[in-house]
Amino acid sequence: MTRHVPELSLKAFTQGDAAARGAFSDALMAGLQDYGFVILKDHDVPVALLDAAYGMAERVFALDEAEKRRHAAGLRGYTPFGTEHAKDHALPDLKEFWQIGREVPEGVVLDEDFPPNVWPEGVAGFRQTFLSLFDGLDETGRQLLRALAPKLDLDEAYFDPLVRHGTSILRVLHYPPVPDDAAPGAVRSAAHEDINFITILVAAKGAGLQLLDRDGTWLPVETDPSNLIVDSGDMLQRLTNGVIPSTTHRVVNPEGPNVSRYSMPFFMHPSSATPLNCLPSCVGEGAKYPDITAGDFLAERLRAIGLAK
């Protein structure tokens, strides 16, 4: 029997009665434990916004190389092709990307400083479109964490203050046609686990995403472009002592036409000071991971994938 990533309706949680909300929480927890991924339909991010964002992604990566590199500014803005690599994987991934972070409302004072976002001058509407998408995916992430919290013996609002001003990042990804001179073994995105609490991925323009199933086989993750794909990351795995595991996944090179692929993952992070210490409900026979803050863990992992020194 072929396994398929479970598909859930977010409206069951956001608009349903207590029974529907409980059933959604059960299914979300089961999906993340069994597959590490779920597919989310009936969410509140407008399809028109998703379509507009993909149109702008195509335009921004079509800018000439010198113009794109002019917007390279570290963790926000442009990151050139071949910069990032998977943890413990020497070859760089065959991708380039643009990262957008949280913009703090005027008058709000935080315990940490966020670097400014970097916006392309040559793509009209880029800033507003991607800030709107950031906000929509951020709210979706909060709803998902509210659904998970009771399954961990936590108050439904437990995660709200942790992620309200978190260091979340929206990454706009472009996998160009695989170049003829690509190193043997180089792939669009080598096998890895995500760093954060949860990732919400706008269904990609193009196939290639695969998860490593519990039996050791690679399972394609595909859905309608109006849906979202959700997976759990290493920070949530640490917090829950592995009760909610992070799942290895990759983006393989195209088997058919060698064309561009675009993808937009939203990496939901807590604030840097958030401890990732094991939750009391998940201790079991003992904590499997040493205590660390989200900020220190993020810094450690960014160094491991070539995005920080």
Q: Is the Cβ–Cβ distance between 85 and 93 less than 8 Å?
A: yes
Quote the pLDDT of residue 229: 97
Quote the pLDDT of residue 26: 98
3-state secondary structure of 12: helix
Quote the pLDDT of residue 8: 98
Q: What is the spatial distance between Cα 277 and Cα 289, in angstroms, rounded to a whole number? A: 8
Quote the pLDDT of residue 63: 95
Question: Which positions ≥6 away from 159 have C-beta within 8 Å?
Answer: 142, 145, 146, 148, 149, 197, 270
Quote the pLDDT of residue 76: 93
135 CB-side CA count, 13 A: 10
Q: Please check whether the domain covering 7-304 is classified as CATH 3.40.718.10.
A: no
Q: How many beta carbons lie within 10 A of that of residue 180, not counting itself?
A: 6
Q: Is the Cβ–Cβ distance between 286 and 261 less than 8 Å?
A: no
Quote the pLDDT of residue 110: 78
Query: What pTM was estimated for this model as a whole?
Result: 0.96
Quote the pLDDT of residue 219: 95
Quote the pLDDT of residue 238: 98
Q: How many beta carbons lie within 10 A of that of residue 157, not counting itself?
A: 11
What would the pLDDT profile of 230-247 be if each residue is shown by its tens digit? 999 999 999 999 999 999
Quote the pLDDT of residue 5: 95
Residues of the chain short of pLDDT 50, as ranges, are none
62 CB-side CA count, 13 A: 9
